[in-house]
Structure 1
């Protein structure tokens, strides 16, 4: 059985060597490695056990007790050689790392090494920054660094064990509560991983119920599947009941472990330099001679440890490869989230310039409605031009239907029984056509629910509260326009003879259009919030670093607000021009509409005197006497005639001014100032803006924080280590 195991062990040295190389690379801090860890309470006999297993004379005095993890590796080789170095702890600073990595000792033989070991250990402790005497002096008591001892020779066994400081419960011998907690955490770090075999060292002369290490092992190995108990100091057990209790443990009758218990006798202070075979003669006595021989003595334990190490390495190697690859992917993913490095001005300017260029690409795509160009435009807030045009349609229809204060008179062109057509200029506001138009407007509003000003977030209100207007409800147009014109005429009339004061139309138009300013503010507010949300969403889509993105936003928000204000000022100017200037137009449609209105009035006056007639083609016609035309307006007072004239002039001009105003607001205030013009807020964050930033501003916006730089550096180092590990695993 032993020969078969040796053949298996000697056929797998490559795997063991690879694991040792990974441990040298400190990969264990990233990926759990197959390992044997010796743990136990202080004074449990750990040092003596390690000396028996490795042949290394670990000192027994308190000043040189185990105060750091020690990795002992033995390998079969044609030549004798011992290498000693320090592997920095996982939290070591760069300075400390360089300091301890400079420690490197060699010995040409195991004999030479054993002779020098105490001196080497003192020097290693000093390099790690540990105090020379545990009781007094400067420096730490314990360290996270690992002392690695690699022993090679033709007669060495294939074995790697890791020794960690012993757990203690009371703060004696110069230790503190912090030291006690640090040792416990260090032990936990080594035993918590599933690829670790726990060698729990337990003195036979003490009730194992009092040994804290078993409780700690059970915390991480609840089923006892990877804990092997090593019972030491059997020569100090004298009572028969105590010996029986030890035998029960080895035979699995008490507190069983799947890997079992081994009973060993180590070299003590009074045993001199006895060989293991001499020490093991002790087990030929009762009751020890009744125990299974493959669970008694150092040779049996070493054979079992080698076998366990090979088995766990063979079993875990494929998983180890997968874990390393997964860690590399995870690190790259996190590193990518930081974006390109931006340590200096050149990197920062290049980085932010790229972000600005991508943002401008998104803006151009959104204005062209080329949403299929990038899946990112599935995000509703990025469909900029669609929302703006829907908002503009609602604005236009709201204006057409309700921007005037009073409905104009409806002059019909045909019989009352024949409904006028919607395109008839004199029937624009016919009551029977209001309901379908309102339905159409409601349908349009459903397309732009997110453009409402009244759902602005607190952040948006904080940034735009001074320039946007919350949703208002406007009164619908009233009737009685004739009475209103008459009162207005009487209030402003002068000594007119068949004419009227031009100020009457000016005042009437100002009153008729008094809602224009407020309705335009609502429209502009909707568009501004839509653009503001687009800019924020587009920057989020190209700049994942939230902290730096917030700094960028703070840097551009003032310019954005200024450009919104320019657009609002333009809209206000258009309102003021329309309402304050004297009504005037060069549009020939004004004369045409006014002439038609006058003709329609005469037609309505002639209608009662007209004679119906059917032409030769069967069409109904109205026949009037030419003399009746000249007499049509007879009987009307001058005031009544002037009021009708004012009404028709006002209606003709209002219709043209309304269309002109809607176009101007969109073209000049929205399209030019907010979307496409040089002062568009979409053109605040550009590559040119980035180029003109001062270095201090650039650093403030995208300069990496100290923690980000540190994290990036750690990730880069971890990726480098993992790639090196991958090479080791695959080769």
Structure 2
């Protein structure tokens, strides 16, 4: 049955023969009945009606507590509606009570289905809508809603009845004297299995309560009965579990008239209400429910009885603003309005972020794909996006949404946001490679020490002013065997030697290479031999660097593909892309072998033999000779060889680094990366291959439907929220 508008219906005709008297609205409450408050509360109700409470955390007041704690009596006092108590029907599912100021008295009931239900069941529950013209009809309509949810009152032949549901019953109440308030009543927590409630029902009541109070935008109205020791009522532990500092919990004590006057129990509950035992930022409130003898009382009689009790009890010391139903209505109206108004900007931001992510996920699914033509069109567009983004990343053109993520973070090779900026990462790693070669690529680290220094001091790092002149670039040796990181951690640090030890090393080589040279001269071939030894680790650095860049490119391609197509298509496409990538890997391995061989045959200009060497700096040689005049001709020639080695090493270190970066990394790994998956390759695929790659699976179809519905809800919610914020903020 569709909802029917009620025109000119008076409150007395709505209630029929049920004795319900109008409760005068206080001046404080009257001040709250403004259009702005109604707009704010109605907006949240509309957002919930759109289903956004399944997507976002919405601001709300939630009444929670143990079974028989008096929650139903609290709601009855708040709404002035006598909800049926038979079989505890009103607390077998979450019930959202929406109270609004209106010209006429109306009461409508509808259902928001649990999102986990099948689509057919959700549609049937969404269609349920009833209007109450006479409160005597309310029990029957509540029973219809209960049956619609599948909560049978009697046990069926198929098994035990279903006692609780996650569906939400919406009760909308309007009237000329109604407050502006929305509150959600939850099923009471059952502490033990009974004949009417299985262990599954016990667990479900706790699950329902947790699902609401765990939301950071929920204000918990924790109802505690004075008829039981509050230390044994689990609701207090639950709210403190999700709100440990008590910033969004208001405690409500019911049935205080059950406490023996003057007893220690009464005093303990008074201290609790005074926020002295369990402290909440929002404090506590005390209500007196109808006693068994007062069940036939009207609303006004109920309120009069409550006022009389508080005048004579210990609780009157708390102050009138923390006692009774009228004070609670004012308190809740103010609390809810302030809470929602405070949360609106953050709610708007969360909505926009969620909508953006949902649209991105839906966009990644592409259009529906049922035949070869649709699949080819999808793959063509996917490959075009892939090609353009890959090309931009390789060239360092970081424009567009794809490159905006993580812009405040430092580049990290293991970060998906950083991997998008592939060119920046490659340049960064090239710099690290160059620094590693410069600092640690040489075999020997020549340092200068004083003659009186002990041999033990030679293994310590040399101060900057003691590093051998002319050898600082290649001999700084800042990384030791215990100070390693990254892809080069398996390579030994340079071995520290003194200048004299270096001369001894060179002299051995000069002696072994001696030919027919005159004393003081040396065989030019010795420089090549020393160079090979000093640069013997270069290929290790190069292989490690090439491997890291190759892995960066692989990660980039995989990340790009995963972010632009569904998982099932990624799984099908990646092996094809990876096969092409393996061709690069095979070329890389071959290059590594060639590189290793090349490091053993370095050509040095200036020699007539098979090896070329740089010409000897005559002026430098004469200067050294005239200053030192060392009669040891072998040592003299060794000094010249060491000087030549330093000069050659500097030149070829830079050439080697440049060749690795340009001739290997750029030419054979990075160049052409965007062509691995391109529209040209898609156009060459057969129809069967296209279907195999891109045909939509059942899971993808369901995902598309869910995302489409999510985007619709969020878009509707954004419109509703934006209109409100433009009016009040």
Task: Calculate the TM-score normalised by the size of structure 1.
Answer: 0.59
2:116 is equivalent to residue 91 of structure 1:
yes
Map 1:596-675 → 2, pairs under 5 A:
none
In 2, are the aligned partners of 1:38 and 1:161 still within 8 Å (CA)?
Answer: yes
Match of 1:540 in 2: 558
Q: Indicate which of 58, 64, 81 corresponds to 1:56.
A: 81
Match of 2:97 in 1: 72
Match of 2:485 in 1: none
Q: Indicate which of 278, 294, 308 corresponds to 1:284.
A: 308
Match of 2:335 in 1: 308
Shift in alpha-carbon separation, 1:135–1:35, aligned structure 2, 3 A: farther
Match of 1:122 in 2: 143
SS of aligned partner of 1:344 = coil
Match of 1:25 in 2: 50
Match of 1:719 in 2: 711
Q: Indicate which of 232, 237, 255 corresponds to 2:278.
A: 255
In 2, are the aligned partners of 1:63 and 1:135 still within 8 Å (CA)?
Answer: no
What are the superposed Cα offsets for residues 584-618 of structure 1, whole Å, 9 maximum, x if unpaired?
A: xxxxxxxxxxxxxxxxxxxxxxxxxxxxxxxxxxx
Map 1:450-489 → 2, pairs under 5 A:
none
Cα deviation, residue 94, structure 1: 2.0
Q: Indicate which of 200, 210, 228 corresponds to 2:232.
A: 210
Match of 2:350 in 1: 323
Shift in alpha-carbon separation, 1:30–1:685, aligned structure 2, 3 A: closer
SS of aligned partner of 2:246 = coil
Cα deviation, residue 75, structure 1: 0.8
- Greater shift in the superposed pair: 116-125 or 715-724: 715-724
Task: Calculate the TM-score normalised by the size of structure 2.
Answer: 0.59
* In 2: Cα distance, 1:69 partner to 1:443 partner: 75
In 1, are the aligned partners of 2:391 and 2:673 still within 8 Å (CA)?
Answer: no
Match of 1:298 in 2: 325
Cα deviation, residue 59, structure 1: 2.5
In 2, are the aligned partners of 1:362 and 1:538 still within 8 Å (CA)?
Answer: no
Cα deviation, residue 76, structure 1: 0.9
What are the superposed Cα offsets for residues 306-356 of structure 1, whole Å, 9 maximum, x if unpaired?
A: 1211221222222222222232234345555x3534543444322322344
Cα deviation, residue 722, structure 1: 1.9
2:379 is equivalent to residue 352 of structure 1:
yes
- Greater shift in the superposed pair: 342-351 or 10-19: 342-351
Shift in alpha-carbon separation, 1:160–1:557, aligned structure 2, 3 A: closer
Cα deviation, residue 166, structure 1: 0.5
Q: Indicate which of 158, 168, 185 corresponds to 1:163.
A: 185
Match of 1:228 in 2: 250
What are the superposed Cα offsets for residues 662-681 of structure 1, whole Å, 9 maximum, x if unpaired?
A: xxxxxxxx9xxx99xxxx99
Shift in alpha-carbon separation, 1:533–1:149, aligned structure 2, 3 A: closer
SS of aligned partner of 1:74 = strand
Shift in alpha-carbon separation, 1:681–1:170, aligned structure 2, 3 A: closer
What are the superposed Cα offsets for residues 149-173 of structure 1, whole Å, 9 maximum, x if unpaired?
A: 1111222221111111100111114
Give 1 or 2 for the bigger CA radius of gyration.
Answer: 1
* In 2: Cα distance, 1:183 partner to 1:301 partner: 26
* In 2: Cα distance, 1:4 partner to 1:105 partner: 33
Cα deviation, residue 39, structure 1: 0.9
* In 2: Cα distance, 1:208 partner to 1:185 partner: 21
Match of 1:43 in 2: 68
Shift in alpha-carbon separation, 1:342–1:128, aligned structure 2, 3 A: same
Shift in alpha-carbon separation, 1:244–1:158, aligned structure 2, 3 A: same
Cα deviation, residue 284, structure 1: 2.8
In 2, are the aligned partners of 1:134 and 1:141 still within 8 Å (CA)?
Answer: no
Shift in alpha-carbon separation, 1:726–1:563, aligned structure 2, 3 A: closer
* In 1: Cα distance, 2:189 partner to 2:707 partner: 33
Match of 1:608 in 2: none
Count of paired positions: 503
SS of aligned partner of 1:160 = strand
What are the superposed Cα offsets for residues 87-119 of structure 1, whole Å, 9 maximum, x if unpaired?
A: 122323322221210111123x4xx1x222111
What are the superposed Cα offsets for residues 605-645 of structure 1, whole Å, 9 maximum, x if unpaired?
A: xxxxxxxxxxxxxxxxxxxxxxxxxxxxxxxxxxxxxxxxx
In 2, are the aligned partners of 1:135 and 1:173 still within 8 Å (CA)?
Answer: no
Question: For structure 1, which runs of at least 5 residues remain unmatched after alignment?
Answer: 384-415, 418-430, 458-529, 569-669
* In 1: Cα distance, 2:233 partner to 2:285 partner: 16
SS of aligned partner of 1:170 = coil
SS of aligned partner of 1:209 = helix
Cα deviation, residue 28, structure 1: 2.1
Cα deviation, residue 556, structure 1: 6.2
Shift in alpha-carbon separation, 1:699–1:7, aligned structure 2, 3 A: same
* In 1: Cα distance, 2:225 partner to 2:252 partner: 8
Cα deviation, residue 41, structure 1: 0.6
What are the superposed Cα offsets for residues 114-156 of structure 1, whole Å, 9 maximum, x if unpaired?
A: 2221111111112112223379866532111101011112222
